[in-house]
Amino acid sequence: MQRRQLLLGSAGLMVMAGAPTAFAQNRAAAAPSAASIAAEARAARAVLPTQRPRAELLQPWTGSYDGVPPFDKVTPAKLREAMLEGIELQRADIAAIANNRAAPTFANTIAAMELAGEPLDRASNIYGVMTSNIGGEAYDAVDTELSPLLSAASDEITFNEKLFQRIKTVADNADAAGLSAQQKRLAERKRDAFIRSGANLDAAGKAELGRINTALSNAFTRFGQKVVADENAWTVIANEAGLAGLPDSNKAAAASAARSRNLQGWAILNTRSAVDPFLTFADDRALREQVWKKFVNRGDNGDANDTKSTIAEIVALRDQRAKLLGYRNHAELRMQDTMAKTPAAAESLMNRVWAPAKARVAEEVADMKAIAGFDIEPWDYLYFAEKVRKAKYDLDQNELKPYFELNAVRAGSFAMAERLYGFEFKKLPKGTVPTFEPDVEVYEVHDKTRGGRLIGLYYTDDYARAGKRSGAWMTTYRSFSQLDGSKIILGSNNNNFTKPEPGQPVLISLDDAETLFHEFGHTLHYFSSVVTYPSFGNTPRDFVEYPSQVHEHWVLSRPILDGYLKHYQTGQAMPQSLVDKIEASNTFNQGYATVSYLSSAIVDMDLHTQATPPTDIAAFEKESLARIGMPKEIVMRHRLPQFNHLFTSDAYSAGYYSYLWSETMDADTWAYFEESGDVFNPDIASRFRSIMLAPGNTTDRAEAYRAFRGRDPDVAALLKVRGFPVS
């Protein structure tokens, strides 16, 4: 849940070392009985005051499915009211725990904290949806007001000396108190998270840290709102000649985008799902340049939406906070609670991949220049890469899109989930449960491995709209934990496809299909969760992308292609000859893909390891890229002025490397399935679910990986997947 993640951080792990047997022993020792969990929950709740929220959006969720979010009742004013009252109710819960006269125990302190602030949790989950998926002026105003208040409320908990001493007492005496392995891990992690968040500072230090955190919260909100405003733009193409080369499906999407905005002609929205196809297929080089510049200059136009000064403020504040807490820089602080542990470990992996990726780019550019006859510019790269793909592999991306109709891709993702884990998805009729937008679809999720038991609801929000943040992401409305009552899981996947005209198909690219499977992988991670304590649902930043990334591999598996990804007009499965072309070209353009991503990760780490944070962000980005020899034909996947991962929260700051860290595990895992001769191997799938997905962070994830795979992940698998030399 969002608020608990803010307070506790994501779960931390040790660098991979140790014996596989430790995981099994730890796991066996950590399994509590249902009776003991129920007793612990009763004892924890007895500490908390009985409170009756007044605000409508703080009430327990009602209706079927253990209650669902009341999206039909949400307004900006009601949300504001609920959040403000929720903060007060949380304050009362924390005071009751901190001021308890009874000696600190796991139940009356640690478990009670796990259950504290439930009304605010409910409202916060709605708050996240309305500010991300709906947005707009009214919700922006609420977000601007509440962000610093939420930050201050979190600091108030961390800085509560009585509370911290109770937590520390429980953690320091875990063995003497006979705590289970899970209880000890949770208590120690809470203690350590409080320390990293400033609980050990003196009064002046806490006051200064509170100032920094509030200022950061305000800056995060400003950054996100500026980027969204700059993305609410488009390039109008007045004449159809400007669309030459585009597939019909993309032309239709551009026409629909224009009509929905009362524009004449066609509109290329300033989102990746609209821009990338245009850059790949549009013949008009001048228009490609125009569309490309508008996209890569989001947040960097010297106007009211320019983010560079906000970034400078954020990195300066982060540096002040890190040094106040005794760390040399922000990256060192952030990585205390990750698998990599240190910036050096992350940089070592990135450097190993950077050199072969850059070398591959030089080869790709040479191939493209031979066709183009002139120097390749960034707005040419995808266009001429597609020409090379066709020449080298006789593969035209336009051949693929008819097989990736959105509804079919989603059906294929459901089939993957059912075959691997026994999850079954059943669409609900419109209106069965409230949704925040009419286009949202909702599905029941049943677990066939548990007799078809209903375990969750899955919401999908597929289309771009003004005010909605860009990209694709997964959101959890309610997670699973045995301590708070084992309610069914509620979660959503969110995309930004262009909404079609009624009755028209939404044809997406192979890359979009893999992104859908990626975000669905996050969902499957949460639907698989079987944890006792809510905090254990949060895994480390450099682990959390692993379950999502590995699921991308099943998109082109033959059972999914044959059963679901059929040509939307003919109904025929993708012929093996076309699959062979895709597989032959699997490592094609990996120089571009890797350099685009990895340059963003390297600049992120560079930015957050500086002894003195930069003030001129444009100059820093340029100098940082020059230091690593960034090919001139490519730009970062996320330039700093629009890098939401880094500057709308601390979540991915000094952590964008985590996709590569996770990919090391995901490539090695896919190799495991392939080597078995069955990419749906039921034994491997069952073990993956039970060892890697279900336990959350109840045990060290590095130990868990060794228990699953029998060894540490092999980086050679990652290099092989990307087509780079393994030696």
- The 3-class SS string of 288-343 reads HHHHHHHHHCCCCCCCCCCCHHHHHHHHHHHHHHHHHCCCCCHHHHHHHHCCCCCH
- Class level of CATH domain 402-584: mainly alpha
Give the lowest-confidence range in 15-24, 83-92, 668-677: 15-24
Say if strands 489-497 and 473-478 run parallel, antiparallel, or are unpaired. Answer: antiparallel
Say if strands 489-497 and 453-463 run parallel, antiparallel, or are unpaired. Answer: parallel
Angle CA 54–58–63, to nearest 5:
115
Alpha-carbon gap, residue 499 to 305, rounded angstroms: 26
Judge whether residue 10 has pLDDT over 50. Answer: no
Q: Encode 231-276 in three state secondary structure.
A: HCCEEEECCHHHHCCCCHHHHHHHHHHHHHCCCCCEEEECCHHHHH
Q: Looking at residue 9, what is its pLDDT?
A: 27
pLDDT tens by residue, 422-478: 999 999 999 999 999 999 999 999 999 999 999 999 999 999 998 999 889 999 999
Residue 25: band (very low, low, confident or very high) from pLDDT cuts 50, 70, 90 = very low
Q: What is the mean pLDDT of residues 558-583?
A: 93
Give the lowest-confidence range in 21-35, 119-133, 277-291, 495-509: 21-35
Measured over all CA atoms, what is the biggest interatomic distance in the chain, rounded to whole angstroms? 80
Residue 29: band (very low, low, confident or very high) from pLDDT cuts 50, 70, 90 = very low
* C-alpha of 42 from chain center: 34
Residue 726: band (very low, low, confident or very high) from pLDDT cuts 50, 70, 90 = confident
Burial class (CB in 10 A: 0-12, 13-18, 19+), 563: middle
Helix, strand or coil, per DSSP, at residue 198: coil
pLDDT tens by residue, 54-75: 999 999 999 999 999 999 999 9
Judge whether residue 396 has pLDDT over 60. Answer: yes
Q: Looking at residue 346, what is its pLDDT?
A: 96
Q: What is the mean pLDDT of residues 179-190?
A: 96
Nearest residue to 554 (alpha-carbon basis) of 445, 683, 415:
415
Nearest residue to 82 (alpha-carbon basis) of 116, 126, 132, 48:
126
From 40, 188, 519, 633, active-site residue: 519
Residue 326: band (very low, low, confident or very high) from pLDDT cuts 50, 70, 90 = very high
Helix, strand or coil, per DSSP, at residue 721: helix
- Provide the percentage of residues in the chain whose pLDDT is more than 70: 96
Residue 56 among the catalytic residues: no
Residue 586: band (very low, low, confident or very high) from pLDDT cuts 50, 70, 90 = confident
Give the lowest-confidence range in 100-114, 207-221, 306-320, 469-483: 469-483
Q: Which residues contact 398 (CB under 8 A, 6 or more apart)?
A: 247, 281
Higher pLDDT, 13 or 291: 291
List strand residue ranges (DSSP E) for 374-452, in order: 423-427, 441-447
pTM over 0.75: yes
Judge whether residue 13 has pLDDT over 60. Answer: no
Residue 31: band (very low, low, confident or very high) from pLDDT cuts 50, 70, 90 = low
Q: What is the mean pLDDT of residues 99-123?
A: 97
What CATH number should be reported for the domain whose range is 32-200?
1.10.1370.40
Alpha-carbon gap, residue 26 to 234, rounded angstroms: 54
* Contact predicate 466/138, CB 8 Å: no
Residue 240: other Cβ atoms inside 10 A: 12
Give the lowest-confidence range in 426-440, 481-495, 630-644: 481-495
Residue 294 Cα distances to 189, 287, 377, 496, 618, angstroms: 44, 11, 15, 18, 17
Judge whether residue 513 has pLDDT over 80. Answer: yes
Give the mean pLDDT of the chain: 93
Angle CA 557–560–565, to nearest 5:
115
565: left (phi over 0), alpha (psi -120 to 50) or beta: beta
3-state helix, strand, coil in the chain (%, to 5): 60, 5, 35
* Contact predicate 84/149, CB 8 Å: yes
Radius of gyration (C-alpha) of the chain in whole angstroms: 25
Q: Looking at residue 169, what is its pLDDT?
A: 98
* C-alpha of 378 from chain center: 27
Q: Looking at residue 2, what is its pLDDT?
A: 32
Q: Looking at residue 395, what is its pLDDT?
A: 87
* Contact predicate 423/456, CB 8 Å: no
Q: How many residues does the chain have?
A: 727
Angle between helices 161-172 and 76-98 (to 10 degrees): 60
CATH 1.10.1370.40 range(s) for the chain read 32-200, 402-584
Q: Looking at residue 12, what is its pLDDT?
A: 25
Higher pLDDT, 21 or 225: 225
Q: Looking at residue 21, what is its pLDDT?
A: 37
